[in-house]
Chains A and B, each alone.
Chain A
């Protein structure tokens, strides 16, 4: 091989590399175009249509919606971004995993708490799969499951990978409890949308996730109407309780094997207590989740409290005897002796399923207990003062 041939070969190779580079560059630019649409934003100020929830934001531009989901452990960090558009607008851009065509027609919903929004938005027929069927209370879903219209993709904490691939839902709504770990179904490479409603500490913020659900099915108007009604009702009750002068003291949860998991001062339940005109004993705590405390810490602070709130379940219902049987130290609490336990049965009530979208009723239930004079004739739905 002479020197000329060598040069020829090398230049061919260089040309090839150049062409490959060129192609991949233009590919990159094309796929970025949806996101570029929002970064360039033509001088317009983008305003999120989400007002209370901290876990997500929705922006809209040229009929394309941008959904930003934040890392609930670090609200400044974005966990994932999705772009959504209906088929007409979707076609104008190259397809990519984060660019979804809406409305979605088959979704797997992995938390019973999310199903209520589907029910309210009248899109239960879009649900093709669920998980943990035995915990689901929604009668329509139960019926659909019985008839075989929807299938179960997880039970007892185990995910059925092969069945999931067979069902092949367009998207999966799931509640990630451990972000550090890959979801067992991540291997399916299906679009898995994290649903962090349970991390919201504002009762209205948690309810606002109905907008999140609605976005995937083109039901924003309905969701906005439902949410505005909830906000209106919630604020009416809040206003009602804000006038009360005496604020009864309240504490929460139970002692389990060496730990008392108490709701933090900025938690969902703490805000409900505050809005219901009660004095939550851990209101000064900064935590939005729960804090684990030693028994004696809780006892020394709460033994004189007026009320004690518990969510749980007992076979054949709550009784003070059953509560005492769990730990006889409960006998030393004033709220126990005065029979001032506010109990919500998580099994017989639909607290976890419908409570999220009825924060006004949770609030009203509490006001009815703390300030009965304000709520004459009211029938509580979730929380009952146990006698």
Chain B
């Protein structure tokens, strides 16, 4: 792809994000005129109080959270795919989201098993505690996958093992649910449904800033990411400490997955699908372009999915995972078919 085209897309994408962000604020189950939306955003004292609260405290944090989680999951998807040199690596596919769920489940449900009840106290427990629990769970699964991928090189085998880990974790969570009290179960089931509307404005800004900080850190590693793409041998001969790099990438992606999962519950397919969309749109595997590309596409895609899930004009909204799966699952199928064709011919 020509440089001119790439530049053009990098101009169009931010505009698209701004557009989708505004449309997320403007449209919802309740009809609010764009003048009221503007007044609310400008903190106009004369603005309609109800519209102001809906926009500033409900739609705005939802849009910021959707965008941040989209960015975070997409970066982690790209890092995982490069680190494992596996096009099917992604937070939900490799069971890492499930691991994060397990971390949260242990915290929420096991509390009930050992006697203390945590029901309805997800927020009282402290956001950080949940993030740390999710982080620990995600890292545990990642460590298993590193261990396995060191022995088995085949991408599909690792994928299958990841899926098995996902099942295993679900089974453990299921068993814990069996023995826990119904209120703890209720708290956990609700968390597990996945939704961008669970965060307050302060939390959403916190997630956004944290994600951007992690992004800045990741940008330092563009060169070694490109080297890894050409193979372990090449990276080593270029003077990179591959083991150290892999650990860094796994920590970063584990943290981003945990951050998103802790606040919104597991969100399906975004992390896996976005890097593929980026590679297709920009026709490159250079991380200098891919990294900003997944950030922009991830933000745009989740904002788009969130907008669809709001079903403008209806009183109810769709579960976000239904929308992200409808968008993401065909991409996975496409990748597998394309991969098959390549290996066949």
- Please determine whether chains A and B interact with each other in the same assembly: yes
Query: Shortest beta-carbon distance, A374 to chain B, in Å?
Result: 32
Chain B, 303-318, CB within 8 A of any chain A CB: 310, 315-317
- B58 A295 Cβ-Cβ under 8 A: yes
- B58 A315 Cβ-Cβ under 8 A: no
Chain A, 301-359, CB within 8 A of any chain B CB: 303, 313-315, 322, 325-326, 328-329, 332
In the bound assembly, the distance between CA atoms of A74 and B124 in angstroms comes to 44
Chain A residue nearest to B317 in the complex (CB): A294
- Fill in one digit per residue for A150-181: 1 if any B CB lies within 8 Å of its CB, else 0: 00000010100000000000000000000000
With a CB–CB cut-off of 8 A, which chain B residues contact A257?
Answer: 190-191, 193, 195, 198, 265
With a CB–CB cut-off of 8 A, which chain B residues contact A89?
Answer: none
Query: Shortest beta-carbon distance, A255 to chain B, in Å?
Result: 9
Query: Shortest beta-carbon distance, B128 to chain A, in Å?
Result: 15
With a CB–CB cut-off of 8 A, which chain A residues contact B119?
Answer: 315
Q: For B58, give its contact among A259, A293, A299 (CB under 8 Å).
A: A299
Answer whether residue A24 sits at the interface, using C-beta atoms and an 8 A cutoff: no
Answer whether residue B9 sits at the interface, using C-beta atoms and an 8 A cutoff: no
With a CB–CB cut-off of 8 A, which chain B residues contact A243?
Answer: none
Contacts A299-B50, A300-B50, A328-B200 given; does A293 touch B315 at CB 8 Å: yes
- B200 A258 Cβ-Cβ under 8 A: no
In the bound assembly, the distance between CA atoms of A292 and B319 in angstroms comes to 12
Answer whether residue A256 sits at the interface, using C-beta atoms and an 8 A cutoff: yes
With a CB–CB cut-off of 8 A, which chain B residues contact A156?
Answer: 178-179
With a CB–CB cut-off of 8 A, which chain A residues contact B59?
Answer: 296
With a CB–CB cut-off of 8 A, which chain B residues contact A17?
Answer: none
Chain B, 36-89, CB within 8 A of any chain A CB: 50, 53-54, 57-59
With a CB–CB cut-off of 8 A, which chain B residues contact A158?
Answer: 178
With a CB–CB cut-off of 8 A, which chain A residues contact B197?
Answer: 258, 295
With a CB–CB cut-off of 8 A, which chain B residues contact A37?
Answer: none
Answer whether residue B28 sits at the interface, using C-beta atoms and an 8 A cutoff: yes
With a CB–CB cut-off of 8 A, which chain B residues contact A303?
Answer: 50, 53
- B123 A332 Cβ-Cβ under 8 A: no
With a CB–CB cut-off of 8 A, which chain B residues contact A293?
Answer: 29, 315-316
Answer whether residue A291 sits at the interface, using C-beta atoms and an 8 A cutoff: yes
- A296 B120 Cβ-Cβ under 8 A: no
In the bound assembly, the distance between CA atoms of A293 and B317 in angstroms comes to 7
- With most chain B CB atoms within 10 A of its CB, the pick from A158, A294, A296, A297 is A296
Chain B residue nearest to A347 in the complex (CB): B183
In the bound assembly, the distance between CA atoms of A294 and B190 in angstroms comes to 15
With a CB–CB cut-off of 8 A, which chain B residues contact A329?
Answer: 53, 57-58, 200
- Fill in one digit per residue for B313-329: 1 if any A CB lies within 8 Å of its CB, else 0: 00111011000000000
- B123 A326 Cβ-Cβ under 8 A: yes
- A258 B319 Cβ-Cβ under 8 A: yes
Contacts A257-B195, A258-B317, A294-B310 given; does A325 touch B123 at CB 8 Å: yes
- A294 B316 Cβ-Cβ under 8 A: yes
Contacts A257-B198, A299-B54, A329-B58 given; does A314 touch B316 at CB 8 Å: no
- B193 A291 Cβ-Cβ under 8 A: no
In the bound assembly, the distance between CA atoms of A325 and B29 in angstroms comes to 25
- A297 B117 Cβ-Cβ under 8 A: no
- A297 B58 Cβ-Cβ under 8 A: no
Query: Shortest beta-carbon distance, B194 to chain A, in Å?
Result: 8
With a CB–CB cut-off of 8 A, which chain A residues contact B191?
Answer: 257
- B193 A258 Cβ-Cβ under 8 A: yes
Chain A residue nearest to B193 in the complex (CB): A257
- B195 A294 Cβ-Cβ under 8 A: no
- Fill in one digit per residue for B105-143: 1 if any A CB lies within 8 Å of its CB, else 0: 000000000000101110110000000000000000000
Query: Shortest beta-carbon distance, A69 to chain B, in Å?
Result: 28
In the bound assembly, the distance between CA atoms of A332 and B57 in angstroms comes to 10
With a CB–CB cut-off of 8 A, which chain B residues contact A296?
Answer: 28-30, 54, 58-59
- A314 B120 Cβ-Cβ under 8 A: yes
With a CB–CB cut-off of 8 A, which chain A residues contact B183?
Answer: 313
Could you write out 30 A-B pairs with CB less than 8 Å apart? A156-B178, A256-B190, A257-B191, A257-B195, A257-B198, A258-B195, A258-B197, A258-B198, A258-B319, A258-B320, A259-B317, A294-B29, A294-B310, A294-B315, A294-B317, A296-B54, A297-B30, A297-B315, A299-B50, A299-B58, A300-B30, A313-B183, A315-B119, A322-B124, A325-B123, A325-B124, A328-B200, A329-B58, A329-B200, A332-B57
* A binding-site residues for B, Cβ under 8 Å: 156, 158, 256-259, 291-297, 299-300, 303, 313-315, 322, 325-326, 328-329, 332
Other than the given A299-B30, A325-B120, A329-B200, 8 more pairs (CB < 8 A) read: A258-B193, A292-B316, A296-B28, A296-B54, A297-B315, A325-B121, A326-B120, A329-B57
